[in-house]
Each structure stands twice: as structure tokens, then as C-alpha cells.
């Protein structure tokens, strides 16, 4: 028994190391790149750690007004898309979980179908439409398509969470004197909080990382987000792209994601409803 356990532990350890290297090595490489000077990245024989550590890349990129605008756009668009998406998804998912209406399955399957639609196929029709509607190169011009892709996912996630909540919770609240809206707000939403956070994070990631729509539906720094802006970091010499700058930008846009995950990972842990009923 003990032998098997030790063997299993050993195997698990190896597995972890392999996965860690696989996932984190590129990240480490990018971080390392961001601390190298332009001269070093363009030299023929690179090494993993910088020969001389420099913060020049960070100074450059944080004084690059285009990048700062893009960062502002990214934050604005991602946050607005997330908030709206979560609000609509919560209401829709609650209705789907609680009410028995005709075409419920149709709504759910349609939502899933929309989420699976290839983004690329929408780009050219959207481009034409948005120019007609004067939405081209605006924040709403990106927020709306982002929401169409994130809402279905959020609705599915949340309706699963709502279904888990015992209906008695809500009935108890109503007997205790709550209006349906109060019961929803004070009992159901707090109980579905892990679901809400999960949906919010998924939505935020999508909007934050999205590239195809961002590059096609914007033309200036008025609405261009960071992933799109980074594709303009080509430098003066086409044969020597500013790898350091690109790596630095990548590191900077990754930081918010890491912070968000660290902040909310405890909230995402499900099982908050334990103790509500006999268990």
C-alpha cells in the first residue's frame, strides 16, 4: 500500500512539474524579455535571463500615449461589457431556472449556438453595419458584439447555479415578508454569488483578450484595445521588431488578469449553499 502511495505521489509530482513548465515557461520568457534592452533582444545569441536588467522597456511603454489610450479603452470596454453582461445574464438565467415558459429549451440552445458562432464570419457584416450605424470605432461598437458572445456563456453558467439553489430559500423569504424582487436580491443573488463571479471573470477575460473584432472594428486610439494596439508595435525596422516592447506590453496587460483571479478565486469556490438545507 505504502509503496503504491509513494509511487502515485511521485507520478503526481512529475505531472505537476511538466504542466508547470509547459504553462509557465513562455510566461517566464516574456517576463525575462521585458527586462532586456533592445540591443540584447536583437543580438544573435539570446540567453534566458537578461545580461543586464533594465526597466527601459517599461519606461518607454508607459510614456507611449497610444498604449495608454489602448489600456484605457481595454479597461473601459471590458468592464462595461462585463457589468452589463452579468446583469442581463443574472436576470435571464433566473427566469430560465425558475419559470416554465414555452420555448425555454429553444432559448437555451439558441444561446449556445450563438456562443459557438465563429467570430471571424461576423467581422465583415459587422464592419458594414457599424459604419452605417456610426458605431464603427466606438466603445459600444465593441461592447455590443462582446456581449453577444459572452452572454450565452454567462447565462448557461448562472442558470446552472440558480438551479442548485433550493426553491424553499425564496419561498421562505416570501413568507418572511419579502417581495419577489427582495427575495431575489437578498437571498438568491447572494447565494448565486460564486456563479456571478465566475460569469463575470469569463466575460472579462473574453473582452480583455479579444483581438479579431478589436482590430477590425476600430481605426484609431479612440476605441482600439490593447491586443489590437500591440499589433501596431512594429518599430522602425521590419526585420527587427521591438520584441522587448511587445513583451513588456504583454506583461502589463497580464497583470490585471492575475490580480482579478487572485482576488476572486475564493469567491468562485462553489458550495456556498451548504447548510441552507439539511445536508
- Please, which residues have CB within 8 angstroms of residue 164's CB and are 6 or more apart in sequence? 273
**Nearer to another protein (CB atom), residue 26 or residue 190:** 190
Residues that bind another protein (CB under 8 A): 166, 168-169, 171-179, 182, 186-187, 190-191, 193, 272-278
**Nearer to another protein (CB atom), residue 114 or residue 175:** 175
Q: Nearest Cα to 231, choosing from 212, 206, 217?
A: 212
Task: Provide, rounded to whole angstroms, the least separation between the CB of residue 181 and another protein.
Answer: 11
- Please, which residues have CB within 8 angstroms of residue 153's CB and are 6 or more apart in sequence? 115, 199, 202, 203, 206
**Residue matched to cell numbers 447548510:** 275
**Nearer to another protein (CB atom), residue 128 or residue 168:** 168
**Nearer to another protein (CB atom), residue 212 or residue 276:** 276
Q: Nearest Cα to 71, choosing from 213, 254, 247?
A: 254
User: Under a CB-based contact definition with an 8 Å cutoff, are residues 270 and 194 in contact?
Assistant: yes
Task: Provide, rounded to whole angstroms, the least separation between the CB of residue 270 and another protein.
Answer: 12
Task: Provide, rounded to whole angstroms, the least separation between the CB of residue 187 and another protein.
Answer: 6
**Nearer to another protein (CB atom), residue 57 or residue 198:** 198
Task: Provide, rounded to whole angstroms, the least separation between the CB of residue 158 and another protein.
Answer: 17
Say how far apart CA 44 and CA 31 lie, in whole Å.
19
User: Under a CB-based contact definition with an 8 Å cutoff, are residues 150 and 85 in contact?
Assistant: yes
Task: Provide, rounded to whole angstroms, the least separation between the CB of residue 264 and another protein.
Answer: 16
Amino acid at each position: 500500500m505504502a509503496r503504491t502511495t509513494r509511487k502515485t505521489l511521485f507520478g503526481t509530482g512529475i505531472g505537476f512539474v511538466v504542466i508547470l513548465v509547459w504553462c509557465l515557461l513562455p510566461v517566464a520568457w516574456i517576463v525575462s524579455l521585458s527586462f532586456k534592452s533592445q540591443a540584447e533582444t536583437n543580438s544573435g545569441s539570446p540567453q534566458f535571463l537578461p545580461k543586464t536588467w533594465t526597466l527601459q522597456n517599461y519606461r518607454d511603454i508607459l510614456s507611449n500615449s497610444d498604449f495608454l489610450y489602448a489600456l484605457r479603452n481595454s479597461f473601459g470596454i471590458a468592464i462595461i461589457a462585463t457589468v452589463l453582461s452579468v446583469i442581463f445574464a443574472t436576470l435571464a438565467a433566473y427566469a430560465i431556472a425558475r419559470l416554465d415558459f414555452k420555448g425555454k429549451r429553444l432559448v437555451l440552445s439558441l444561446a449556445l449556438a450563438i456562443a459557438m458562432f465563429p467570430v471571424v464570419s461576423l467581422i465583415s457584416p459587422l464592419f458594414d453595419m457599424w459604419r452605417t450605424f456610426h458605431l464603427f470605432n466606438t466603445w459600444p461598437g465593441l461592447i455590443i458584439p462582446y456581449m453577444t458572445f459572452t452572454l450565452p456563456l454567462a447565462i448557461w453558467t448562472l442558470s446552472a447555479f440558480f438551479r442548485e439553489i433550493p426553491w424553499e430559500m425564496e419561498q421562505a423569504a416570501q413568507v418572511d415578508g419579502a417581495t419577489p424582487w427582495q427575495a431575489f436580491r437578498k437571498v438568491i443573488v447572494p447565494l448565486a454569488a460564486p456563479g456571478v463571479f465566475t460569469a463575470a471573470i469569463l466575460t472579462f477575460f473574453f473582452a480583455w483578450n479579444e483581438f479579431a473584432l478589436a482590430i477590425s472594428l476600430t481605426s484609431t486610439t479612440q476605441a482600439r484595445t490593447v491586443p489590437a494596439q500591440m499589433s501596431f508595435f512594429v518599430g522602425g525596422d521590419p526585420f527587427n521588431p521591438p520584441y522587448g516592447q511587445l513583451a513588456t506590453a504583454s506583461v502589463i496587460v497580464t497583470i490585471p488578469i492575475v490580480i482579478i483571479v487572485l482576488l476572486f478565486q475564493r469567491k468562485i469556490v462553489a458550495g456556498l449553499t451548504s447548510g441552507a438545507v439539511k445536508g
